[in-house]
Structure 1
């Protein structure tokens, strides 16, 4: 009897209709013009009627739009103001054509362009899904639970134009595993032989305890019985989670020899249901919200990287987290701010001997099978508090209303006070980690979870530690296993960790939203950031030498550009072991704090 596979259905493309397609193309063209002008790839020309104009490479096509140029060369462009003409004929906005028409100005090389167009197409596909669904309004989201907010986010990374590529997923995978699809799924469990796999675990935990907590006694016994039924000694194996997509599309074939030789044993799916988070390869347990996050390798291409996990990095992950955790928990100032990290408490990495023998560098072929467990933020909640991803502060609902505007309105306090409390919870701890401990994170929206009370930010939790954290002072003593986080870079690049990752990469977008929707100008916002910085410096006079050496009130700073980076190499845009060497710089940005260098100048704006 012939087995029939499920037939394709309308569901894969039901959201692709003319009205929605027109809307999401307009939004993406708006973002493309804004971010490419911000990075100096495009130079819009001011016209006599107050509009701006850019031209295609051949000069035949023109785009006209209104814009307000804000601090940090941020181009705030109303989407409905954009028009396109070919000669005198109006044309529909088309994000794919936009990339083709301006490819020379955008420095898109022929070998990069097809993959980049693929990423743009996928980003549009996802955007159409998000704008076609019955999504909650910003006003509704401020009352929603943690996971409802997580799955409602619609923009992705605020700087990258092609930010939802996820190349490797098909249309069915999208509805199963994309965060915005909000489809709970079961993860795959494997038994991996200890000859090939390495378990690393926090000093505060042991493997048996963690497996009981994550799987439960009954599930754990079932998996061990399956190993024993195959005549295998369960003591020779670690139990390891994997993404179902990764199992079906990569592991079952690329690791076929390992499976045939019972180095890897498929055990089945677990009982618990998980939801994909904004980072796509991290999953939150919705069957039991007390359990840990699970993060697994996922060999899809997104924003310049194959989203694998390195077994080499996994080896040191818990030790690095334990070290950073001890530092943070032992610092009185950070504790006064309620600042904590979510530890990655255990990790498993599997090394395929064939790829190990074939490849010297640590590339995507060596990152197909690894996983980690991260602490659950729910354990940090007190009475009356709730969790929300910091990405939400840059979120606009399908009608264009900002979630941050609704939070401020519902809080009952002024915008200025709300922003001051937010900066005190978020930015002040980052300053302290940098100046006191030479410690940096990757503190963009997706990597922080806010704890809110009465719609106000009470404190923040930092996550994604081991892959992103760095110590900028080689003299800091680290455990041998954690040495890879120690890095040496020139002094003039150290402050870029705040200027680029915080100011330009995140706060620039929040400031623009407040400017547009809360009658809170960008000058008021950066004035608040300057006040927060001066207050921190006044509270820590012992660090005055550090403040002068790493000057946050400098006149300007080098502009490191993310889209330039992605479009130069959209398959592997940076060497993560030496990221500074591959940065794409384009001129300098005027520092919005420079005007408030003197504390005496800190009057009202």
Structure 2
């Protein structure tokens, strides 16, 4: 029953639960131009806010003393109601009930898209479940810098000619909130799952960015095949009316070029796998791409880079010979080779043409940026035609 309620593939509507968290036990941070009151009034309608305030008032409590915090229903009933029972008993946490908006779980399981109001934020919640090798919690401490990191990257992208030419963008994580359980924080180290049980963030929706006739798809969906073995990528190519290699080149110029430019120009890498990349589709072709899941995934591989204090944590010292794996592994090995196999298996595009087109996209970028030609050979993507 839990699978039917919450699994992304069932597309079941979910209403998130909301907690009131004492302000002296919770931390709220937001990006430039956004404050707590503005966010909450944008996400919850006046009737819902009044209902939540009345619930608190009925217990002799004041909404002004609390932050409102969305939680996954499963997390509340299976984890928080037990492991945070003392916090509830002492009214540091108060269950307010469901919000009125309906959401759909995304492929990451813990992130929700608002179907009642698609222009509102995604909501990412903490879940104490093991999925793909990781406990899917959210650290209250780690979340504090999230909005600042997103603002920094958005500003960098907006000021770069190559990114602007590709119309590359991100959807920012605009605000985050985390609850600090003082006993757990005293008893555990910063990596403990007990410190990652109660936090949330709000991420921009890409819907307001869409033009007429445009629609969205995760890049992961290109690999989906139906019962007859036909892929979504193949269906989009057919819909576009473009030659398969022309369709592929447009997609690669939209996706791969920003990845390459980030790497060469800024020593900046992402986790650009299929679920973290949103495609803007127009007439069956990829018009541009949007990256998400920024603060937890990006890295500047230059320990001497000058970054704002709030963004410092994304710097890392990486051995020179390992840097290029962020592209070879995450892009070519973990994604493009599977797209190649899907298209070749359907007879849409043969393997040689696929990789030749990829090489041409890489080479065109390299030729357009001769000032970056002095990059070490150990960190160079070498484009060779098949």
Report the TM-score range of the alignment, normalised by the length of the smaller protein.
over 0.9
**SS at 2:44's partner residue?**
helix
Residue 152 of structure 1: aligned partner: none
CA distance in 1 between partners of 2:13 and 2:84 (Å)? 27
Kindly indicate whether residue 71 of structure 2 is the aligned counterpart of residue 239 of structure 1.
no
Residue 5 of structure 2: aligned partner: 176
2:287 to 449, 452, 458: 458
Residue 533 of structure 1: aligned partner: 362
Kindly indicate whether the alpha-carbon contact (under 8 Å) linking 1:405 and 1:518 is maintained by their aligned counterparts in 2: no
Residue 28 of structure 2: aligned partner: 199
Q: What displacement does 1:305 show?
A: 0.9
Q: What displacement does 1:473 show?
A: 1.1
Kindly indicate whether residue 219 of structure 2 is the aligned counterpart of residue 390 of structure 1.
yes
Q: What displacement does 1:325 show?
A: 0.8
Kindly indicate whether residue 153 of structure 2 is the aligned counterpart of residue 346 of structure 1.
no
Kindly indicate whether the alpha-carbon contact (under 8 Å) linking 2:234 and 2:348 is maintained by their aligned counterparts in 1: no
Q: What displacement does 1:519 show?
A: 4.1
Structure 1's unaligned 5+ residue stretches are 1-171, 554-592, 597-601
**SS at 1:209's partner residue?**
helix
**SS at 1:368's partner residue?**
coil
Q: What displacement does 1:361 show?
A: 3.7
Q: Please show how residues 375-414 of structure 1 align to structure 2 within 5 Å.
A: 375-414=204-243
Q: Please list the CA deviations of residues 332-363 of structure 1 after superposition, one character each: whole Å capped at 9, or x if unmatched.
A: 21011110001000000111112111112412
Kindly indicate whether the alpha-carbon contact (under 8 Å) linking 1:321 and 1:345 is maintained by their aligned counterparts in 2: yes
Kindly indicate whether residue 328 of structure 2 is the aligned counterpart of residue 499 of structure 1.
yes
Q: What displacement does 1:287 show?
A: 0.8
Q: Please show how residues 356-367 of structure 1 align to structure 2 within 5 Å.
A: 356-367=185-196
Moved over 3 A (4+): none
Residue 559 of structure 1: aligned partner: none
Q: Please show how residues 430-449 of structure 1 align to structure 2 within 5 Å.
A: 430-449=259-278
CA distance in 1 between partners of 2:364 and 2:223 (Å)? 26
Q: How high is the TM-score relative to the length of structure 2?
A: 0.98
CA distance in 2 between partners of 1:455 and 1:519 (Å)? 15
Kindly indicate whether residue 319 of structure 2 is the aligned counterpart of residue 490 of structure 1.
yes
Q: What displacement does 1:497 show?
A: 0.2
CA distance in 1 between partners of 2:281 and 2:218 (Å)? 10
Q: Please show how residues 528-567 of structure 1 align to structure 2 within 5 Å.
A: 528-546=357-375, 548=377, 550-553=379-382
Kindly indicate whether residue 249 of structure 2 is the aligned counterpart of residue 420 of structure 1.
yes
Q: What displacement does 1:401 show?
A: 1.3
Kindly indicate whether residue 283 of structure 2 is the aligned counterpart of residue 283 of structure 1.
no
Q: Please show how residues 262-273 of structure 1 align to structure 2 within 5 Å.
A: 262-273=91-102
Q: Please list the CA deviations of residues 308-335 of structure 1 after superposition, one character each: whole Å capped at 9, or x if unmatched.
A: 1111211110011111111111112101
Q: Please show how residues 554-593 of structure 1 align to structure 2 within 5 Å.
A: 593=383
Q: What displacement does 1:404 show?
A: 0.8
RMSD in angstroms over aligned alpha carbons? 1.2
1:304 to 133, 136, 141: 133
Kindly indicate whether the alpha-carbon contact (under 8 Å) linking 2:236 and 2:284 is maintained by their aligned counterparts in 1: yes
Q: What displacement does 1:522 show?
A: 1.8
**SS at 2:174's partner residue?**
strand
Q: What displacement does 1:410 show?
A: 1.4
CA separation of 1:547 and 1:409: change in aligned 2, threshold 3 A:
farther
Kindly indicate whether the alpha-carbon contact (under 8 Å) linking 1:301 and 1:307 is maintained by their aligned counterparts in 2: yes
Kindly indicate whether residue 78 of structure 2 is the aligned counterpart of residue 228 of structure 1.
no
2:18 to 180, 189, 211: 189
Residue 257 of structure 1: aligned partner: 86
Q: Please show how residues 37-76 of structure 1 align to structure 2 within 5 Å.
A: none
Q: Please list the CA deviations of residues 199-255 of structure 1 after superposition, one character each: whole Å capped at 9, or x if unmatched.
A: 010112111111111001221122122222222222221101000000000000100
**SS at 1:246's partner residue?**
helix
Kindly indicate whether the alpha-carbon contact (under 8 Å) linking 2:123 and 2:200 is maintained by their aligned counterparts in 1: yes
1:320 to 128, 131, 149: 149
Kindly indicate whether the alpha-carbon contact (under 8 Å) linking 2:324 and 2:378 is maintained by their aligned counterparts in 1: no
Higher Cα radius of gyration: 1
Q: Which moved more, 1:463-472 or 1:476-485?
A: 476-485
Residue 480 of structure 1: aligned partner: 309
Q: Please list the CA deviations of residues 152-191 of structure 1 after superposition, one character each: whole Å capped at 9, or x if unmatched.
A: xxxxxxxxxxxxxxxxxxxx11000000111101000001
CA distance in 1 between partners of 2:211 and 2:313 (Å)? 36
